[in-house]
Structure 1
C-alpha cells in the first residue's frame, strides 16, 4: 500500500517551511500543502495544530503524528523515511555530526539571520525607527556564521562525509536570503560573498539540487 500524503502547513517568504519542503522533495514523499494566512497563525484552528502559532507544521497520517518546529520535522522525516540514507547517515560518528550541524542551523543560523532580516527590512516600518546597533549586531552574526561554515568547508565539499545531507540543506533557504537581508548595508557592514568562497561554493551546490530548484520554483509561483 502506498503512503498517504503528508500535510504541510506553510506560507511563503519564510525559510523554515521551505526547509521542510526540500526534505519532502529529496525523499520523494507524497505531500499536500495548506497555506496559513498571517492573521490565522495565532488563532484556531491553526493553534490546535501548532500552539506556538508559527509555520511549519506537519500532519502525517501514515504514523498519526502532528509535529511543529522545522528541525524536529526534518529529523522525524529523515529517521522515518530515509531508510536508504540518501541524505543522512546511520554510521558513527557521521550520524551525530549531522545532528550537530542541524542543531547549529536551528540555533545559530535561523534566529540570527531572522533578526537581521527584521531589523534591516521591517523594524522601521513597524516602529518608525531604525536601530543601527541591532543592524550591526545581527549583520556581524551573519558574517560570523558564514565564517564558521566557510572554515569547515575549506576542508570538505559537504558538512559531513562525502555527500549532501539534510544538515547541508537545512541552511540553504536562509542562506539564499542573505543578499536581500543585507542589501541596504554598505561599507564595512556590507555583505560580500567573495569573503566566504567555500561557503558560496557550497551554497551554489545546494541551490543546484533538483529538490531546491523545485521549491524555489514553487515559491516564485506563489509570489
Structure 2
C-alpha cells in the first residue's frame, strides 16, 4: 500500500530528519527519497527535482492524501503537519498563547541556531578553516546560542524548552545539536543541560522510529 507522504531528504542533512522525526512522533506513514547534493542524476539541482522544490534543497514533502500537496522548507512542513494532523496536540498546543511560546523557540532554531551552526561547520570544517575570522565568528555565535538554550532549560527545570513537554521546538534542534561535536564543542562538559536534553530526545520512540529502514548516518555523540 502506498504511503501517505513522500519525504525528500538527505542521509546526513539535519533538516530532513527533523521532518521524519515529527512524522514518526505523529504516527504518520511516509516513504523517503534520498537526494544528493549538486546537479547529478539524483541531485537536488536537477530540473525534475526543482519542479518539487524550486529552491533545489531538502526537505520537501508531498501529502498524497491532500491532492499531492507539495510543501518545502522544514519549518513550513512541520507546521503543516502539526496543524493538520496533530489533533491530540502532542507536539503543538491548541491555544494561541502556547503556540506563540513554542513558535518563539521553533523560529530561534530556524533563523538562528540552524543557519549559524551550518555556517560554522562550513567555515571551520568543510573548507579547512581557511577563513579563520569567519569560522571564529560563527563558532562564537553557536556557543552564545548554546548558552541561551542551557539557560532556558535551567529556567524551566522540566527538561524541555517550554510547556514542560517535548514539542516541535525541541525536536527542531536535535539534529543540529548533534552536529556540534564537529566544532569541538563538548556538550556534556560545557552545556550539560543541553546534552541531557539531546540524549532524552534520542531515546524517544519517534526519533528511534525515524531511523528504521533508512540510510541513517548519525553523528557521533562524543
TM-score, normalised by the number of residues in structure 2: 0.88
**Matches of 1:96 and 1:119 in 2, distance apart?**
33
Work out the number of aligned pairs and report it: 211
2:98 to 79, 94, 97: 94
**Matches of 1:5 and 1:91 in 2, distance apart?**
28
Where does the alignment leave 5 or more consecutive residues of structure 1 unmatched? 184-189
Q: Secondary structure at the match of 2:95?
A: coil
CA 1:69–1:221 in 2, change beyond 3 Å: closer, same or farther? Answer: closer
Q: Report the equivalent of 2:183.
A: 182
Asked if the contact 1:11/1:35 (under 8 Å) is kept, the reply is yes
| 2:20 maps to 1:54 | no
Which region of structure 1 is more displaced relative to structure 2, 34-43 or 58-67?
Answer: 34-43
CA 1:21–1:131 in 2, change beyond 3 Å: closer, same or farther? Answer: same
**Matches of 2:215 and 2:162 in 1, distance apart?**
28
| 2:79 maps to 1:80 | no
User: How far apart are 1:220 and its partner, in Å?
Assistant: 3.3
| Cα-to-partner distance string for 1:49-102 (whole Å, 9 max, x where unaligned) | 000000000110111210100000000000010000111101242111111111
Q: Report the equivalent of 2:28.
A: 29
1:215 to 210, 213, 219: 210
| 2:38 maps to 1:43 | no
Asked if the contact 2:146/2:191 (under 8 Å) is kept, the reply is yes
Which region of structure 1 is more displaced relative to structure 2, 35-44 or 107-116?
Answer: 35-44
Where does the alignment leave 5 or more consecutive residues of structure 2 unmatched? none
CA 1:55–1:215 in 2, change beyond 3 Å: closer, same or farther? Answer: same
Q: Report the equivalent of 1:202.
A: 197
**Matches of 2:161 and 2:50 in 1, distance apart?**
35
CA 1:222–1:163 in 2, change beyond 3 Å: closer, same or farther? Answer: closer
CA 1:94–1:28 in 2, change beyond 3 Å: closer, same or farther? Answer: same
Q: Secondary structure at the match of 2:51?
A: helix
Asked if the contact 1:4/1:62 (under 8 Å) is kept, the reply is no
**Matches of 1:221 and 1:172 in 2, distance apart?**
14
User: How far apart are 1:42 and its partner, in Å?
Assistant: 1.2
Asked if the contact 1:3/1:30 (under 8 Å) is kept, the reply is no
CA RMSD in angstroms comes to 2.1
User: How far apart are 1:214 and its partner, in Å?
Assistant: 3.1
Q: Report the equivalent of 1:153.
A: 153
Q: Secondary structure at the match of 1:162?
A: coil
| 2:131 maps to 1:131 | yes
Q: Report the equivalent of 2:71.
A: 67
TM-score, normalised by the number of residues in structure 1: 0.88
User: How far apart are 1:36 and its partner, in Å?
Assistant: 1.5
- Following TM superposition, the consecutive aligned residue runs of length 4 or more in structure 1 with deviations greater than 6 angstroms are none
**Matches of 1:71 and 1:215 in 2, distance apart?**
18
